[in-house]
Amino acid sequence: MATKPQELKIDIERIGTVSAMLTRPDHARACYVLAHGAGADMRHSFMERVAAGLAERGIATFRFNFPYMEEKKGRPDQPAVAHAAIRAAVAEAARLCPGVKLVAGGKSFGGRMTSQAQSKAPLQGVKGLAFLGFPLHADKKPSSERAEHLAAIAIPMLFLQGTRDGLADLGYLKPVVEKLGAKATLHEIEAGDHSFAVLKKSGRTNDEALAEVLDALAAWIDALA
């Protein structure tokens, strides 16, 4: 039976209120605070599939909109606003899911903003960060400058990346992960793009590729101290 998401609102201090959704299966053993990407909100089909798939694996998800998406503005929020939204979401997830392991991160922009927030001041109670396609650089403009703040993060990090991801050239990402040492793990999705969609000639479906992503994420969460 599918787990029905709970519709919520969260208040971001001095900024305003945004929509949120908690998908919590019975006996959830962890909760993933899942931030959306730059171009689509928390209800995007990718976010829905991640939340449903993790629920099947016994993991709750707490999704939320960044203020710009809530207000239907085209341009993403300034980092300070995004960081405040993430902190409010983490606090609310911890309140609603007491006693379970808390992890944070998200899709592309959402994951990068979460890592920036963590690098400035630890997110309360968060045991690890998981990135669903970390946007290391602009499309087809390889660089690793966006990863410089990751060195300031002390908790474990998981990078789930498609090998065809135009926003994360693995020739640049692999050295970043290696430099971070034991706290960072890279899991490559063969033939996956920035959203883990695969080519037909890969011999598998998009659903199968996403299942690999979710299996890897669930296993990593379970291995966290």
Mean pLDDT of the chain: 97
pLDDT at 74: 85
Asked if residue 115 is part of any domain, the answer here is yes
Asked if residue 60 is part of any domain, the answer here is yes
127 pLDDT above the threshold of 70: yes
- How many domains, the chain? 1
Asked if residue 165 is part of any domain, the answer here is yes
1 pLDDT above the threshold of 80: no
Asked if residue 196 is part of any domain, the answer here is yes
For residue 18, give the CATH number of its domain: 3.40.50.1820
In degrees, rounded to 5, the angle at the alpha carbon of residue 129 between the alpha carbons of residues 126 and 133 is 155
Asked if residue 166 is part of any domain, the answer here is yes
Residue 176 has φ and ψ, to the nearest 5°, of -60, -50
For the entire predicted model, the pTM comes to: 0.97
Alpha carbon distance 64, 61 (integer Å): 10
List the one residue out of 105, 108, 70, 101 whose CA is nearest residue 86: 105
Alpha carbon distance 155, 183 (integer Å): 7
Q: Say which residues have a Cβ less than 8 Å from residue 80's Cβ, sequence separation at least 6.
A: none
**What confidence tens digit (pLDDT) does each residue in 49-72 have?**
999 999 999 999 999 999 999 999
Domain boundaries, position 30: 6-223
Asked if residue 123 is part of any domain, the answer here is yes
Asked if residue 184 is part of any domain, the answer here is yes
Asked if residue 1 is part of any domain, the answer here is no
